[in-house]
Structure 1
Amino acid sequence: MRKSWGLGRPSGDRRWLLPFAASLLVSATLFLAAACGLFSPPSLADGDDDSILIDVATWDTAAAVESEIRNRLVDSASDDGDNPDDAAVNSDASSADPPRIAYLLEGTKGDGARMRRALQAIYHPRNQYILHLDLEAPPRERIDLAMYVKGDAMFSEVGNVRVIAKGNLVTYKGPTMVACTLHAVSILLKEGLEWDWFINLSASDYPLVTQDASRDVLLISYEMPPKRLEFRIFAFRIVYFMTKDDILHVFSSLPRNLNFIEHMQLSGWKVISRAKPIVVDPGLYLSKKFDLTMTTERRELPTSFKLYTGSAWIMLTKTFLEYCIWGWDNLPRTLLMYYVNFISSPEGYFHTVICNSDEFRGTAVGHDLHYIAWDYPPKQHPNMLSMRDFNKMVKSGAPFARKFPKDDKVLDKIDRELLHRSEGQFTPGAWCDGSSEGGADPCSSRGEDSVFEPGPGAERLRGLMKKVLSWDYRNGSCSSLGYDQTKRDWYVPKGRG
């Protein structure tokens, strides 16, 4: 029996119509979209450039990013025909915008209260602060420090104080101290914070000048008899119109590419006792603190770079520390690996990097901005400071001093006569906009923080800057001259004259 296909053929012949119609619709849509420009790149409206560039930068190559930073640093230095090495220092790298300083404040077990006091003494809303209690401090102490920062109304309002939650294990004289410093710098760079210089301080350091103001009129109120209370209150009220600016004022007039780092070429007994031995820092791989481990092996002095040494306390520029982190010519990374097995690497790493770098050698200024009392000849540790050192500290012009015993009376004298700071309060400055009636903290209210005026502390600091930035003094930077830590000056070592 023959099957009839007549009735089913029309339906089978039309099965291609649905796919064809769908394809035609899609094709027409794509054509119209292209004609109307729906798939063309959007035009950059005013103000949208940054967001587009950020997206592109995240996919850029590391080499291109390093090249951009390097070019920015090189362009910031102008050529000086007489002294090519000093081009960066002699250039006008200062900015109309007042400077900002980033502080690393370090401590260990039992230093929580000292760190709070030091933070109050150096605090200013323009600056950035990173607090680090090492792993030897108990968790409770670190939590208390973090809760203090979180609970302070000014810190919460400004948002410029950070506590490193996970403490690093730091070995005295070991590379873990350098790693801790680089850790803090990395946080500052990662957060995209604004700062011009970086200063590291310990809990045994203390400032000798204010961040931005010195309230001399307060001294009058301290000398008033108790019965003249009304005048005392009046003096507290008028003092806010008589503020004088110190450290931020002085550094406002300096080029922003100066690196303050005490340094000298490694020589004498330090070559034998520091450069040739090979040590291992247990803090790199153990969870408990131990002294450096000495090995029986010794090594020769390097021939591809010169070794420098100096103070572990520094004031370095953001551009130089970017170089230490990025290391586009590999020098910072090479030296970091070398100093892993070096005794007292915190007293040599940054010094050797800057003095072996063609781009930054001319920016080094041989001073650590500290007053430190040394024996003669200097021993491993400086002397503890006390009341008998007060006049010498002031006369030095240095903005900081160390080492202070915990809660020593000389700190109270510094608070009273140099910082004019009451216990538990910030060092008063032009940015403080509150009232001090009834013992209240005038810095509980924030005012203008970018207008400065010089005071006695600024005059002392300016005198120090005049000395260390003079040609005679800077001639010793990154040279073969020796450095006398007790006299704070250069000299020609025996056999080199």
Structure 2
Amino acid sequence: MVHLRHLTLTLTLWKDKMHIWANSAANKNIGQLQLGTKNDVVRIKRLLQAVYHPRNYYLLNLDLEALDSERLELAKYVKLDVVMREFGNVKVVGKSDLVTYKGPTMLASMLHAIAVLLKVSKSWDWFINLSASDYPLMTQDDILHIFSYLPRDLNFLEHSSNIGYKEFSRVRPIIIDPGLYHLKKSGVFWAKEKRSVPASFKVFMGSEWVMLSRSFLEFCIWGWDNLPRTLLMYYTNFLFSLEGYFHTIVCNHKDYQNTTVNHDLHYIKWDNPPKQYPINLTLNHFEDMVQSGVPFARTFATDDPVLDKIDKEILRRSHGRFSPGAWCVGTTTLGKDPCIVYGSIDVVKPSAVSRSLEKLIGKLLDTENFRSAQCK
């Protein structure tokens, strides 16, 4: 459980240490799911190159709609890359399931990924889900540096019990996901009956993009309490179940409800009034994205020019290469990739961009804001 005293100490330490190199092997690591579908191989490769760091763990998952040849191409890319083969920290799901975007199969796919990452590594501290249309707004050195100062049990997820109209569009309707029964993708089915709002637990909803702690996810997967399984059955018939499952668990259990940080760590723009999908980000949004202090943004169209600008001005990444970090000690002369030669993976060198994330986290964890935004 996160204590305000601990957070106050953490914030005090930031003032003195935030801009030095964090070079301890005890620094935190992140497990990442990158989810794509048919024709997403190029985007998944680019995203992986942009967010890769030897200390993290990555699971690449193309859903059943993607061709087997695409999965094979992705697996070959990972296997043949010198750096990823050396560290062995990137895995590709070989047998994928059908995913219905509005249905619980989306949640099932994510739970599967979490279970795999829990099995393949005991050293990651947080899990984050990304799609092929996501992209980082800062380097992994910047992100790992800031998170190295945070308590490991924090859970970043936008959430609220003030669901408004969603009571009638999400909570009361009953849906059936055909992906649970068929191999051909189609929309969800709607039942004629409605159900009442649950009385044994409070429903919370929010963004499907989360950064969750390992301890909380072990509870969700291995659940020594029955709450995760009970809610999994409830959300099986829930529209957009990924927008409520983890949020409802974390806020209905006394061991985790005080660990929440009410933010999804993504820069997202919506129409007014909002439509089903967010606006594709362009060069017009670049300055606002940079100033936001969040580590990720979505959604981006394939090869939009703004991605090249992010690569050049923020990530310092050349086409087809990893975003360089302190672990990359090779030379760039004659067009060489500096990450082919690597040093200690426990050393990170944050850039000035990390200060915007520092400012955002500091605001979110401020003693006047932290508790008031939790599970309300």
**Matched position secondary structure for 1:466:** helix
Aligned match of 1:455: 351
Aligned match of 2:83: 154
**Matched position secondary structure for 1:355:** helix
Aligned match of 1:356: 252
* 2:30 aligned to which of 88, 101, 107: 101
Asked whether the equivalents of residues 88 and 363 of structure 1 are also in contact (C-alpha less than 8 Å), the reply is no
Asked whether the equivalents of residues 7 and 365 of structure 2 are also in contact (C-alpha less than 8 Å), the reply is no
For 1:476 and 1:170, the matched residues in 2 are separated by 36
For 1:354 and 1:90, the matched residues in 2 are separated by 23
Aligned match of 2:154: 258
For 2:221 and 2:285, the matched residues in 1 are separated by 38
2:292 aligned with 1:396? yes
State the one-letter code of the partner of 2:367.
Answer: W
Aligned-residue offset at 1:292:
0.8
Aligned-residue offset at 1:90:
6.7
Asked whether the equivalents of residues 249 and 454 of structure 1 are also in contact (C-alpha less than 8 Å), the reply is yes
Q: How many residues align?
A: 364
Aligned-residue offset at 1:428:
0.6
Paired residues for 1:87-236 under 5 Å:
97-212=26-141
State the one-letter code of the partner of 2:33.
Answer: L
* 2:312 aligned to which of 416, 424, 442: 416
Paired residues for 1:74-89 under 5 Å:
77=1
Paired residues for 1:342-381 under 5 Å:
342-381=238-277
Asked whether the equivalents of residues 108 and 135 of structure 1 are also in contact (C-alpha less than 8 Å), the reply is yes
Asked whether the equivalents of residues 266 and 298 of structure 2 are also in contact (C-alpha less than 8 Å), the reply is yes
For 1:179 and 1:91, the matched residues in 2 are separated by 38
Asked whether the equivalents of residues 316 and 323 of structure 2 are also in contact (C-alpha less than 8 Å), the reply is yes
Structure 1 runs of 4+ aligned residues shifted over 4 Å read: 86-92
Aligned-residue offset at 1:329:
1.4
Residues 390 and 304 of structure 1: CA distance in aligned 2, closer, same or farther (over 3 Å): same
**Matched position secondary structure for 1:193:** coil
Aligned match of 1:227: none
Query: Cα RMSD over matched residues?
Result: 1.7
State the one-letter code of the partner of 1:199.
Answer: I
For 1:206 and 1:190, the matched residues in 2 are separated by 26
Report which structure shows greater RCO (CA 8 Å, sep ≥6). 2
Asked whether the equivalents of residues 89 and 258 of structure 1 are also in contact (C-alpha less than 8 Å), the reply is no
Asked whether the equivalents of residues 104 and 201 of structure 1 are also in contact (C-alpha less than 8 Å), the reply is yes
TM-score (norm 2): 0.93
Asked whether the equivalents of residues 172 and 197 of structure 2 are also in contact (C-alpha less than 8 Å), the reply is yes
**Matched position secondary structure for 2:192:** strand
Aligned-residue offset at 1:252:
0.6
State the one-letter code of the partner of 2:36.
Answer: G
2:165 aligned with 1:269? yes
Residues 187 and 91 of structure 1: CA distance in aligned 2, closer, same or farther (over 3 Å): farther
2:369 aligned with 1:473? yes
Paired residues for 1:478-493 under 5 Å:
478-480=374-376
State the one-letter code of the partner of 2:322.
Answer: F
For structure 2, the 5+ residue unaligned runs are 14-23
* 2:236 aligned to which of 325, 340, 349: 340
Aligned-residue offset at 1:168:
1.5
Residues 291 and 207 of structure 1: CA distance in aligned 2, closer, same or farther (over 3 Å): same
Asked whether the equivalents of residues 88 and 257 of structure 1 are also in contact (C-alpha less than 8 Å), the reply is no
2:283 aligned with 1:387? yes
For structure 1, the 5+ residue unaligned runs are 1-76, 81-85, 213-245, 481-497
Paired residues for 1:286-301 under 5 Å:
286-301=182-197
Residues 339 and 88 of structure 1: CA distance in aligned 2, closer, same or farther (over 3 Å): farther
Asked whether the equivalents of residues 257 and 375 of structure 2 are also in contact (C-alpha less than 8 Å), the reply is no
Aligned match of 2:18: none
Asked whether the equivalents of residues 209 and 457 of structure 1 are also in contact (C-alpha less than 8 Å), the reply is yes
* 1:302 aligned to which of 185, 198, 210: 198
Aligned-residue offset at 1:435:
1.3
State the one-letter code of the partner of 1:153.
Answer: V
Asked whether the equivalents of residues 335 and 349 of structure 1 are also in contact (C-alpha less than 8 Å), the reply is yes
Aligned match of 1:222: none
Deviations 1:228-255 (A, max 9, x none): xxxxxxxxxxxxxxxxxx1111011111
For 1:437 and 1:87, the matched residues in 2 are separated by 49
Residues 90 and 328 of structure 1: CA distance in aligned 2, closer, same or farther (over 3 Å): farther
